[in-house]
Structure 1
Amino acid sequence: MYIFRQLPLLLLCFFIPFSAAAPLHRGAPASRWFSATATWYGSPDGDGSDGGACGYGSMVDVKPYRARVGAVSPILFKGGEGCGACYKVRCLDRSICARRAVTVIITDECPGGYCSGGRTHFDLSGAAFGRLAVSGERNQLRNRGVIPVTYRRTACKYPGKNIAFKVNEGSADHWLSLLVEFEDGDGDLGSMHIKQAGSSEWLEMSHVWGATWCKNGGPLKGPFSVKVTTLATAKTLSARDVIPANWSPKATYTSRLNFFV
């Protein structure tokens, strides 16, 4: 489990604007397989993270995230912009590993050990790591510790789910913080905007950390429409009046839309 000391969200929103982040790299998720290494953490058949650096909290312990989560090295975490991206990971040792790949969702960052030094590394939940093995060899594979793997981006799929926005604790009429959930397709976000009631202007939000974005100013008046743009392919989706006028902190509001693939 990786535990990160987080500054108060309000300070982060002021001092880490999205425009200060590294330039976005456009283009479709890669279909090529690339080399990496992998380990596992948590209990042998467990879900891995209890929360994680992306900010999904207890959602990682339930479906559709459950047992499919993974922490990645900084090269894939991208300062939090890689949160929500989905990857297929495949073990290379045919003496013990199955030919199938497992699909994992990035919910956490692993900053040290095998994840340091610019390496590309996946630290998978015990359950996801075990699924790389042939039948009956899961424990043997776990006992090997670090293994060579290949990986590639893949479309995220959340059947029956639409994009949802959780209003983070502490949000008020001069500061709105949103966590994005269940984004089909690319899975990651490159930018996010909100539009207030009675306005035609889209206001750009700042990337705080992980899958969390915020907007300072105001007073901000709902209902709010939300526009999200993916990082990988710059696809855009707008959810009209998805957050009602009587919104409340810690509530989650689900849109009627998604990037269906």
Structure 2
Amino acid sequence: MAFPWGALLTSTLLFSFPIIHAADDSTDKYNKKGDIRKHRPLFKPTVWKQAHATFYEGGSETFGGACGYGDVVKDGYGLDTTALSSILFKEGQTCGACYEIKCTKSGVGCKAGKSSILVTATNLCPPNYDLPSDNGGWCNPPREHFDLAKPAYLKIAEYKAGIVPIQYRRVPCKKEGGIRFTITGNPYFNLVSVWNVGGSGEITEVLVKGEEKVKNWTNLKRNWGQKWESDEMLVGETLSFRVKASDGRYTTSLRIAPKDWKFGQTFVGKNFP
């Protein structure tokens, strides 16, 4: 059964992205101060931990709710997605992170023969303080809980089970192509959606710079999920972006948005391996 206090199904405004521009062949040799960057190891799987999983109904345009992904299928995440309890969601920082999940006890609804699934965090499972955390309030703090999109849940567990014990771990995100930057807003307020992120999948910092008015790297502020805001006058600027992942690595995409870029367009930058 689906749980009525499942994931937050945030309505998102869908944009048409008619033009996608690719990044230059740029390196990530330097840090924000211009110093030579020390090598950081690639993101590695974490240790296995215990938790529980439920599921929620929805579709490709709602499974990305609280992270701001318009359509998880069109955006390349597929339907193997999950909403996270707030302790894991971290106010949107964990949007885009990838997890390996396996159902651990065959006698309580886990499907036999299915070892694990890989899912991406794209939504929030909000607390329900009207119910105890061990009886309906599954996503109440401090529980680490996964409210899986129904198609993902049914790969590892029986529909009738409702809630099942799981093991989970963070794993590297494998993405095709580069990081996507979609710019919306108006000349006085720019909102940049950052998606299709490889490596840790989890973005902690986004910077932008132009070549005329905004010549220095300028931090964007997290608005919600993986939408980042800037009140700089970016219209008419050739734009470069720099992204920091939760494992401390940076990737820099130089001059990916041409001077005549338009709101609603998507630009492709350099991804993490």
Determine if the TM-score, normalized by the shorter chain, exceeds 0.5: yes
Matched, 1:91 2:108: no
Q: Taking structure 2 as the reference length, what is the TM-score of the superposition?
A: 0.76
**Any idea what SS the aligned residue of 1:53 has?**
helix
Write 1 or 2 for the structure with the bigger share of helix: 1
Q: Specify the code of the residue in structure 1 equivalent to 2:141.
A: G
For the residues of structure 1 that align with 2:200 and 2:186, how far apart are their CA atoms?
A: 27
Structure 1 position 47, deviation (Å): 5.3
Which residue of structure 2 lines up, in the alignment, with residue 158 of structure 1? 175
Structure 1 position 48, deviation (Å): 8.6
Which residue of structure 2 lines up, in the alignment, with residue 53 of structure 1? 66
Pairing of 1:1-261 with structure 2 (within 5 A): 2-4=8-10, 31-42=46-57, 49-58=62-71, 60-62=72-74, 64-95=76-107, 96-97=110-111, 98-112=113-127, 113-133=137-157, 141-159=158-176, 161-168=177-184, 170-172=185-187, 174-198=188-212, 200-218=215-233, 221-231=236-246, 233-255=247-269, 257-260=270-273
Assess if the C-alpha contact under 8 Å between 2:210 and 2:234 holds in 1: no
Identical aligned residues as a percent: 29
Which residue of structure 2 lines up, in the alignment, with residue 23 of structure 1? none
* Aligned CA distance change for structure 1 residues 65 and 127 (closer, same or farther; 3 Å): same
Structure 2, unpaired ranges of 5+: 1-6, 13-40, 128-136
Which residue of structure 2 lines up, in the alignment, with residue 20 of structure 1? none
Assess if the C-alpha contact under 8 Å between 2:182 and 2:266 holds in 1: yes
* Aligned CA distance change for structure 1 residues 121 and 219 (closer, same or farther; 3 Å): closer
For the residues of structure 1 that align with 2:233 and 2:141, how far apart are their CA atoms?
A: 43
Q: Specify the code of the residue in structure 2 equivalent to 1:194.
A: V
**Any idea what SS the aligned residue of 1:131 has?**
helix
Q: CA RMSD in A?
A: 2.4
**Any idea what SS the aligned residue of 1:249 has?**
coil
For residues 111-134 of structure 1, give each alpha carbon's deviation from its aligned partner in whole angstroms, at most 9, with x where no partner exists: 12311131111011111111114x
For the residues of structure 2 that align with 1:81 and 1:66, how far apart are their CA atoms?
A: 20
Number of residue equivalences: 226
For residues 151-204 of structure 1, give each alpha carbon's deviation from its aligned partner in whole angstroms, at most 9, with x where no partner exists: 100011113x21110112x232x3221001111111011111001124651011
Structure 1, unpaired ranges of 5+: 7-26, 134-140
For the residues of structure 2 that align with 1:215 and 1:181, how far apart are their CA atoms?
A: 17
